[in-house]
Structure 1
Amino acid sequence: MADWSWVAYTALEALVAAACCLGNVLVVCAVCVGIRDSLREPTFCFLVSLAVADLLVGVAAVPLAVLLDGWASLTPDLCLLLSCVVLVLTQASVLSLLCIAVDRYLRLHTPLRYKALATQRRTWLAVCVCWMLSCLLGFTPLFGWRNPSSYNSTNSSSSPSTCTFLSVVSLPFMVYFNFLGCVMAPLLVMILLYVRLFWSLQRRLKESYPQTRAPLLRERRLACSLALVLVLFAICWIPLHLINCLLLFYGPQAVTQSTLYAGILLSHANSAVNPVVYACRIPKIRQAYRQIWRPVFVRLSCCHRDKQVQQSIAGRQANHTEARGPGGESNRIRI
């Protein structure tokens, strides 16, 4: 790959990482601080889990993606460990989205039992289970399902070598286990849940009276926003997995390095897009954003106003000094 292309890829990764960090820190602050009692609602707890996973993409996954591009000499074991971190974060995002879909489904279809089922303790327990299961699934290559070519007799696990993701992670693992089992299967379940959810909401809206439609309309707007997050996840991540399928079935010549980098960038960009979706589609988070940014804008406005006042005072003093003249007397014309 040409040097300029690698520079462009690295620069875009840096921008994506900065956007991931800034946007998702803002989401966590908005939910935990800006929205009162939001953590008592399961949906917002799972949104925090998703935002933390997206934040870690900017903090860890993006730097590792640049590092695991053949720019570091590491032992195969350490290279494999760092490669699995990216898989853990992807799986955490998938399972958080799945929990959100299940929560909205239960809220609509079991309204009488929902509060008893979705307690705060059970919600946070579900978040912990999501992350534990993500670690178990993401670190599966450490238990043996790895690329055997990096562990041959001439390249032992203790000798450093050039570290790349596909040199240690097996393509059959990425296609058959990670893509089909850990990504596509949950996505299909989520699609079925949202289809059932929207069908039920549409039926209830037709049967309801005008004065009882407001809660159903709010539920539909929130469901549309969360479904949009799911659609964007699929759009951003499936191309990279399809690239892995091409590499597995047709070999390295089937995909150019530029195409592979574009797929990696698109998958990382998903973590930077989610905070924008929350701001545009979820009123509570948009209002919390305003509460967080309002003091900053007020302070900047005050600083700008103080600077203008100081400049005005300095200008008046300069004009007054000029009018007095060098001798301290007024420069008025004497007759």
Structure 2
Amino acid sequence: MATLEETDLCFPELLNSSCRKTIRPHFETMLIYILLSFNSLLTAALNLLVIITISHFKKLHTPTNLLLLSLAVSDFFVGLLMVFQIVLIDGCWFLGDLMCTLYQYVDYIIASASAGSMVLISVDRYVAICHPLHYSTEITQKRVQVCVCLCWICSVIFQSLILKDILKQPGRYNSCIGECIYFINYIAGLADLTFSFIVPITVIVVLYMRVFVVAVSQARAMRSHIAAVTGKVTAKKSELKAARTLGVVVVLFLICLCPYYCVALTGQDNLLSVSSSAFVLWLYSFNSCLNPVVYAFCYPWFRKSVKLIVTFKILQADSSELNIL
């Protein structure tokens, strides 16, 4: 009987202080391992293709694509962090309290940076569609670079303040050895919920509602040639197409993000076990895999670049000068 109890422990040699494993049927465990591993590999690989594409080809060095690059970087790290979700499948953490804290810290930073990138994308599309005359002067490459850097820097600083307790003393809230839990106090949780979810979502929804209204009116104007007659300035068709594509990305982001933060919004508990919230976390991370798929369907340049990358033609001299638009 003692042997059976020991097999349920993360650390059998620590009978009085070890956490217990989550017991599942063998088939279910293997299925979860396979799905998470495949999702992790696919997410990291697809976003790495986006990163290489936008970084390598000079024709793609535009303000909008720089924002997509920032989003792809955060999505790439989400794919890498899924490895730690795989470690936690049976509810046991074997990498120590310091690694658990670093995992949570990086995870929170990526979440904030991803939300910030979505806000910047919404602002970019708002100016391009609603104020096309000012776009080239207001949204410059240098300004976007500064905004992206500030987005990541602010995410690091903000999450350092939110998680200062566990950063000072890793594992202070663990109830047993082998546990890795998310814990933030009420005030910090409220601040994170406000600035990582409520404020970004509000800005995104408001801006894209305005973009949608203006895009529809401009599409009607172009169809009826009103713009040509009245001399009214409208956004380019390419800008409207980009707005639609990025609109899909934003909608998918909201769908995958909302369940995670709704749990926090209802205030059920600030103490959230990673293993017990597997589906919510998986849905959130799955969004990072969807973005490159959207690009593949909507952007011909991404499909062309993938062919060049997988055939190693990207290694040829002056390949960065190719026009894949």
Normalised-by-shorter TM-score class: 0.7 to 0.9
Structure 1 pair 251–176 and aligned structure 2 pair: CA distance change class (3 A): closer
State yes or no: 1:267 paired with 2:289: no
Q: Which residue in 1 is equivalent to 2:107? A: 86
Q: Distance in 1 between matches of 2:291 and 2:177?
A: 36
Structure 1 pair 195–251 and aligned structure 2 pair: CA distance change class (3 A): closer
- Give the Å deviation of 1:32: 2.4
Q: Which residue in 1 is equivalent to 2:56? A: 33
Query: AA paired with 1:117?
Result: E
Q: Which residue in 1 is equivalent to 2:244? A: 224
Matched ranges for 1:301-316 at <5 A: none
After TM superposition, the score normalised by the length of structure 2 is 0.74
Say which is worse superposed, 211-220 or 18-27, in terms of deviation: 211-220
Q: Distance in 1 between matches of 2:83 and 2:72?
A: 18
User: For this pair of structures, how many residues does the alignment match?
Assistant: 282
Structure with max Cα Rg: 1
- Alignment check: 8 A CA contact 1:97 1:230 kept: yes
Note the alpha carbon deviations across 1:185-206, whole angstroms, 9 max, x for none.
Answer: 2012111111101111222233
- Alignment check: 8 A CA contact 1:98 1:190 kept: yes
- Alignment check: 8 A CA contact 2:186 2:270 kept: no
Q: Distance in 1 between matches of 2:43 and 2:85?
A: 14
Q: Which residue in 1 is equivalent to 2:128? A: 107
- Give the Å deviation of 1:70: 2.9
Q: Note the residue ranges of structure 2 that are not aligned, 5 or more in a row.
A: 1-21, 314-325
Q: Which residue in 2 is equivalent to 1:14? A: 37
Give the percent of matched residue pairs that are identical in Structure 1 and Structure 2. Answer: 24
Note the alpha carbon deviations across 1:158-185, whole angstroms, 9 max, x for none.
Answer: xx9433123xx22636752333331232
Q: Which residue in 1 is equivalent to 2:180? A: 164
Q: Which residue in 2 is equivalent to 1:284? A: 301
State yes or no: 1:65 paired with 2:85: yes
Q: Distance in 2 between matches of 1:250 and 1:91?
A: 21
- Alignment check: 8 A CA contact 2:126 2:207 kept: yes
- Alignment check: 8 A CA contact 1:73 1:163 kept: no
Structure 1 pair 215–293 and aligned structure 2 pair: CA distance change class (3 A): farther
The residue matched to 2:69 in structure 1 has which SS? helix
Query: AA paired with 2:113?
Result: A
Matched ranges for 1:165-204 at <5 A: 165-166=181-182, 169-170=183-184, 172=186, 175-204=189-218
Q: Distance in 2 between matches of 1:150 and 1:293?
A: 43
- Alignment check: 8 A CA contact 1:175 1:245 kept: no
Query: AA paired with 1:32?
Result: S
Q: Note the residue ranges of structure 1 that are not aligned, 5 or more in a row.
A: 297-335
Q: Distance in 2 between matches of 1:235 and 1:207?
A: 32
Q: Distance in 2 between matches of 1:164 and 1:177?
A: 22
Q: Distance in 1 between matches of 2:234 and 2:299?
A: 16
Q: Which residue in 2 is equivalent to 1:116? A: 137
Q: Distance in 2 between matches of 1:281 and 1:139?
A: 37
Structure 1 pair 274–188 and aligned structure 2 pair: CA distance change class (3 A): same
